[in-house]
């Protein structure tokens, strides 16, 4: 992995503008079409933009935002932009930053969930049910609902033969209800109304025939469903009660936010005053709860400044609660809203648009004629030559995949960039055989679908090693790891270890452990790598002893490092993605350990096994690493993306279209949102599938290939999906399949070939630069870089999996305790903010850390002793007017150089002057050492204070408003929380930051940023021969 430094660009130290000027705006504005200009100019009142694929809606949103600011309608922090995916947030923010500069950082761009979650965190008094509570994961939710079912006397929800048959259906129903803003109390009202309506039905009974006088079957079924729904109401109530004792689930975030705002408190007024302009992108994907968020934020005015963008033809997330009724909701709520339709498409050829349009017009439920006077198609403004959609039918799936690989190879050979080709499929599992054929054909590809984290090679190997170490005496677990490649054990040696009697009949030892711990026995068996195996066994044995009294994260990190797995991952071409997967597993162990002080590596293994047993998945990490490879994804995942060439695969009847979602529960909720047997489910589902096919077609700029097999893997005959037949004859043509079938017959061995995918050098530089630009440079990151560039690379940039040490967890808990203590002291509650309260805060904070039982006891004693002395020493001179753990983000020092930081405490002195305090746990340092003036001292502490001075000076207007004034940092202070061992005294060191120090550090930040952005450090070391980070770097190089 060698990076050259040609084309090096120096970081420009330039003033970053807060927004584009009128001239720049006019340049972009002049390129818009008439409807786009109308949307950009419609600043006041409710506006809906119906924007089909490729019509430039993102550009409209961005220019409208600029227009709002240029005309003085609102400040950046008074604009709220909501969307539905994290990727949508990233795209919008990136485009806004490129156009608006630093001002874009102060616009609130967020998903609905993230927005609500941030408000909840900022206003704990309004959401006490979330205070110090954690998000309950899926497996814990399953445990809660199973207990609810088993501990209550349900007649219908607990069938005799399978007590837990309804567990999954109930969890899905609860999620659906929360997405529709329906609480247990509201569901109870709905079921009561359902029962009342049933009671007044006039044709309940048969009036003639053999069943005269008996209730009609359909009504007996409905009656039973109503009784079942009563039990669902009770189960929902009990589930929520049990859930709130543990924490909350993902869907609770928006539901609780809505309920709080509905209760008529000052929080709603505060949000309405703050956000004067609201925009919602991809509004067709909104569910009812998300609509309620918008409605509440806009409820102060009859004609609020709300701007929504969407397209009914791309509404494909009904399984997440989105449906056309929610899209229509905006029009119903704001009948005076201006409706603008964007018709000019700048992506696809007219042939592709006509093909997609001919499919979409078959939808039975559509809003054309309600939102707009007539249904209109899209008109291509593209420059690509017209090519009809090409449809291929093949004998079976192997042939179909062979065609896809051959056609893609031909396109790449003709000069098409692999990243401009996408293969779309209906289900995640469809990718397996497509990817297999592409790799065997030598085509670089990348799967971008939601995959299971536990299916990754490195995660599976790590899990196997965890089991072997945790239960070290288990021969089966030890045997299972012998084939892991980085142990370097030859296959024959592994066979001899597992089945020794097959190679040496008269042996007197019984287990694999007996053999691996004895060099003589291994020699007797003819083991070729006895020394290597002995060393590996020794490492595993040491790990088994180490993990016994350690927390799960500490044990997991030790296994990762000491087993050799970390070094092995760093040698892989895709080390960034593999490291991210392992990191996610470590994060999960941290969260679970924080909830239970006695949580061991064995508990974590049991948790993972339970996830597999319940058929649950841990979603794999998705990194946007630019990679010149063919992109494989589901049609759902392709939403918002575009490619030159698109392959739609597996387009057979029943695979695309004619899919039924048969719900076991028939709730009145589903009648309202068009799900389940009581609605017109057949055409609802078919419309959904048709819109999904429409989305797949409209991802292409130049050409679409559709293929399907005539036989499935079982030899059953298949037919083309109905959407193929709905494409107009003028827009499609039949491809010649025979030439590919003949070629496959000659190359049938490709099915059994080794994968020969060329190594794709991921464009790591661009990816890592993006991380640097998005994450920014903090004081800790800067100090790490100055200490060792590779320490920064691994810990701050790449963020290799790492568990906190005991001392770090102690420090985190001390900081959290002091924050809580001074927050209460500031609120004038001096009676509460005493010594006992400080110690209680510390114990609660330490309990939340993923720390083992023994380390917890030791750290608790040490921390309480230090904090008790700290309180007694300073109790009479404590500053009460403080701001604690104040984050300052998105300060642009230069082009692509963003600094960020969190200040422990700001003491407000008066007249706008403040003293910045940085707590330090650990051994006290002298003033000279803090400044880096003594031997072996780094000066990190003083540098950190200067960094804070820069952040305070450059603070944004919104941050100043959050503080309530424009602060002037007149001094910085290092506050040692732990007393000196010898004297028992506590020390503080205060500094006045000089302008020359500020100038020097700014220059240093720019210099470091330049080195990071240009990878100038890549061939360097820090000079310490024992540096583990430089050692890892040398191995990678």
- Collapsing DSSP states into helix, strand and coil, what is residue 210? coil
Residues in CB range of 640: below 8 A, 6 or more apart: 85, 87, 88, 91, 282
With b for 16 or more beta-carbon neighbours within 10 A and e for fewer, the 435-450 pattern comes to bebbbbbebbbbbbbe
Tell which phi-psi region holds residue 639, choosing left (phi > 0), alpha (psi between -120 and 50) or beta.
Answer: beta
| 377 assigned to a ligand binding site | no
Tell which phi-psi region holds residue 321, choosing left (phi > 0), alpha (psi between -120 and 50) or beta.
Answer: left
Provide DSSP, 40-79: HH--SS-EEEEE-TTS-HHHHHHHHHHHHHHTTS--GGGE
Please provide the size of the chain in residues: 1037
| 228 assigned to a ligand binding site | no
Residues in CB range of 338: below 8 A, 6 or more apart: 42, 45, 46, 47, 48
Q: Which of 863, 869, 818 is nearest to 841 (CA)?
A: 818
Distances in Å between the Cα of 738 and the Cα atoms of 400, 403, 735, 743, 745 are 11, 10, 9, 8, 11
Distances in Å between the Cα of 166 and the Cα atoms of 17, 294, 610, 681, 848 are 58, 34, 18, 21, 34
Q: Which of 364, 436, 352, 392 is nearest to 703 (CA)?
A: 352
Provide DSSP, 404-417: HHHHHHHHHHTT--
Residues in CB range of 906: below 8 A, 6 or more apart: 882, 883, 884, 886, 914, 915, 916, 917, 963, 967
Q: What is the DSSP letter of 976?
A: E
Q: Are strands 643-648 and 630-634 parallel, antiparallel or unpaired?
A: unpaired
Strands (E), 348-439: 379-380, 389-394, 421-425
Distance in angstroms (rounded) separating the CA atoms of residues 312 and 325: 10
| 757 assigned to a ligand binding site | no
Instruction: List the beta bridge partners of residue 700.
Output: 643
Measured CA angle at 729 (ends 728, 732), to 5 deg: 90
Q: What is the torsional sign of CA 826, 829, 835, 840?
A: negative
| 500 assigned to a ligand binding site | no
- Collapsing DSSP states into helix, strand and coil, what is residue 445? strand
Distance in angstroms (rounded) separating the CA atoms of residues 988 and 153: 63
Cα-based torsion angle of the residue sequence 750, 755, 756, 759 in order, rounded to the nearest 10 degrees: 150
Distance in angstroms (rounded) separating the CA atoms of residues 460 and 372: 53
At residue 1004, φ and ψ (nearest 5 deg) are -65, -40
Distance in angstroms (rounded) separating the CA atoms of residues 238 and 154: 12
| 54 assigned to a ligand binding site | yes
Here the tokens at position 259 are 């309920």
| 58 assigned to a ligand binding site | yes
Distance in angstroms (rounded) separating the CA atoms of residues 949 and 966: 13
Distances in Å between the Cα of 389 and the Cα atoms of 645, 701, 702, 731, 908 are 11, 12, 10, 6, 68
Q: What is the DSSP letter of 337?
A: -
Here the tokens at position 422 are 């996408």
Residues in CB range of 887: below 8 A, 6 or more apart: 900, 901, 902, 903
Distance in angstroms (rounded) separating the CA atoms of residues 757 and 744: 19
**Locate tokens 């904070």: which residue?**
845
Feature table: binding site for ATP: 51-58
Feature table: binding site: 51-58
């Amino acid at each position: 992995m060698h990076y050259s430094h040609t084309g090096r660009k120096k970081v420009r130290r330039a003033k970053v503008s807060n927004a584009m000027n009128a001239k720049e705006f006019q340049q972009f504005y002049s390129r818009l079409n008439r409807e786009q200009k109308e949307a950009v100019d419609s600043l006041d009142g409710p506006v809906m933009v119906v924007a089909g694929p490729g019509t430039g809606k993102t550009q409209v949103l961005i220019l409208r935002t600029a227009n709002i600011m240029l005309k003085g309608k609102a400040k950046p922090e008074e604009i709220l932009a909501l969307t539905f995916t994290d990727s949508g947030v990233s795209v919008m923010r990136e485009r806004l930053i490129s156009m608006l500069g630093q001002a874009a950082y102060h616009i609130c761009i967020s998903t609905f969930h993230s927005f609500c979650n941030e408000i909840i965190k900022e206003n704990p008094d309004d959401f006490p049910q979330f205070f110090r509570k954690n998000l309950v994961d899926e497996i814990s939710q399953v445990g809660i609902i199973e207990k609810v079912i088993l501990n209550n006397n349900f007649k219908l929800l607990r069938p005799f033969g399978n007590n837990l048959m309804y567990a999954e259906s109930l969890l899905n129903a609860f999620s659906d209800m929360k997405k529709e803003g329906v609480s247990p109390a509201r569901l109870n009202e709905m079921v009561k109304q359902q029962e009342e309506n049933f009671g007044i039905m006039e044709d309940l009974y048969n009036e003639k025939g053999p069943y005269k006088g008996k209730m009609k079957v359909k009504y007996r079924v409905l009656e039973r469903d109503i009784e079942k729904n009563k039990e669902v109401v009770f189960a929902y109530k009990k589930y929520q009660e049990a859930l709130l004792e543990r924490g909350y689930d993902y869907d609770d975030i928006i539901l609780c936010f809505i309920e709080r705002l509905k209760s008529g408190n000052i929080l709603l007024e505060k949000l309405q005053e703050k956000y004067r302009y609201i925009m919602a992108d991809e509004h067709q994907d909104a569910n009812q709860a998300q609509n309620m968020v918008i409605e509440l934020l806009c409820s102060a005015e009859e004609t609020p400044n709300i701007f929504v963008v969407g397209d009914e033809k791309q509404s494909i997330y009904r399984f997440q609660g989105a449906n056309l009724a929610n899209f229509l909701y905006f029009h119903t709520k704001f009948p005076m809203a201006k409706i603008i339709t964007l018709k000019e498409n700048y992506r696809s050829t007219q042939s592709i648009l006509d093909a997609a349009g001919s499919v979409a017009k078959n939808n039975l439920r559509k809003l054309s004629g309600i939102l707009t006077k007539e249904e209109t198609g899209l008109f291509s403004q593209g420059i690509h030559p017209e090519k009809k959609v090409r449809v291929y039918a093949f004998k079976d799936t192997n042939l179909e995949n062979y065609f896809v690989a051959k056609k893609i190879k031909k396109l790449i050979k003709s000069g098409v960039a692999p990243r401009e080709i996408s293969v779309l499929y209906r289900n995640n599992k469809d990718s397996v055989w497509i990817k297999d054929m592409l790799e065997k054909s030598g085509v670089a590809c990348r799967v971008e679908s939601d995959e299971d984290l536990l299916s990754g090679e490195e995660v599976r190997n790590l899990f196997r090693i965890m089991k072997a170490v945790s239960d070290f005496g288990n021969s089966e677990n030890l045997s299972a790891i012998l084939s892991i490649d980085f142990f370097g054990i030859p296959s024959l040696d592994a066979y001899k270890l597992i089945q020794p009697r097959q190679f040496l009949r008269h042996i007197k030892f019984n287990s694999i452990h007996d053999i691996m711990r004895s060099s003589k026995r291994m020699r007797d068996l003819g083991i070729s790598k006895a020394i290597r195996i002995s060393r590996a066994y020794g490492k595993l044995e040491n790990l088994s002893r180490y993990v016994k009294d350690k927390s799960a994260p500490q044990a997991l990190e030790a296994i990762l490092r000491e087993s050799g797995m970390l070094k092995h991952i760093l040698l892989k071409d895709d080390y960034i993605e593999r490291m991210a997967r392992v990191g996610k597993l470590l994060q999960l162990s941290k969260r679970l350990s924080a909830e239970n002080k006695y949580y061991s590596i064995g508990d974590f293994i049991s948790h993972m096994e339970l996830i597999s047993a319940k058929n649950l998945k841990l979603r794999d990490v998705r990194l946007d690493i630019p990679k010149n490879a063919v992109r494989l994804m589901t049609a759902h995942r392709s939403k918002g993306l575009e490619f030159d060439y698109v392959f739609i695969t597996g387009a057979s009847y029943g695979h695309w279209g004619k899919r039924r979602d048969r719900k076991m529960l028939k709730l009145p909720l589903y009648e309202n949102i068009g799900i389940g047997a009581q609605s017109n489910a057949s055409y609802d589902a078919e419309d959904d599938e048709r819109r999904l096919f429409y989305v797949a077609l409209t991802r292409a700029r130049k050409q679409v290939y559709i293929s399907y097999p005539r036989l499935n893997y079982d030899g059953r005959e298949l037919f083309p999906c109905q959407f193929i037949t709905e494409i107009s004859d003028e827009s499609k043509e039949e491809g010649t399949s025979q030439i590919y079938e003949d070629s496959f017959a000659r190359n049938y061995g490709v099915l059994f070939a080794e994968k020969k995918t060329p190594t794709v050098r991921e464009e790591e530089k661009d990816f890592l630069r993006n991380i640097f630009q998005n994450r920014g440079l903090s004081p800790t990151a800067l100090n790490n870089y100055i200490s060792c560039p590779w320490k920064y690379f691994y810990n701050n940039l790449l963020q290799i999996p790492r568990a906190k040490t005991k001392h770090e967890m102690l420090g985190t808990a001390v900081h959290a305790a002091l924050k809580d203590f001074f927050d209460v002291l500031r609120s004038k509650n001096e009676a509460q903010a005493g010594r006992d309260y400080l110690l209680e805060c510390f114990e609660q904070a330490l309990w939340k850390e993923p720390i083992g039982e023994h380390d917890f006891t030791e750290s608790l004693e040490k921390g309480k002793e230090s904090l008790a002395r700290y309180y007694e020493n300073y109790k009479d001179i404590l500053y009460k007017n403080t701001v604690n753990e104040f984050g300052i983000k998105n300060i642009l020092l230069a082009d692509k150089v963003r600094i960020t930081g969190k200040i422990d405490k700001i003491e407000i002195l008066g007249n706008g002057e403040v003293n910045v305090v940085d707590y330090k746990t650990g051994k006290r340092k002298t003033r000279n050492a803090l400044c880096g003036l003594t031997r072996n001292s780094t000066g990190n502490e003083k540098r950190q204070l200067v960094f804070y001075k820069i952040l305070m000076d450059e603070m944004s207007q919104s941050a100043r408003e959050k503080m309530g004034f424009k602060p002037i940092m007149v001094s910085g202070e290092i506050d040692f929380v732990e007393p000196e061992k010898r004297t028992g005294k506590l020390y503080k060191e205060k500094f006045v930051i000089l302008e020359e120090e500020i100038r020097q550090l700014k220059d240093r930040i720019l210099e470091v940023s330049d080195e990071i952005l240009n990878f100038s450090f890549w061939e360097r070391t820090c000079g310490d021969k024992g540096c583990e980070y430089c050692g890892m770097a040398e191995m990678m190089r």
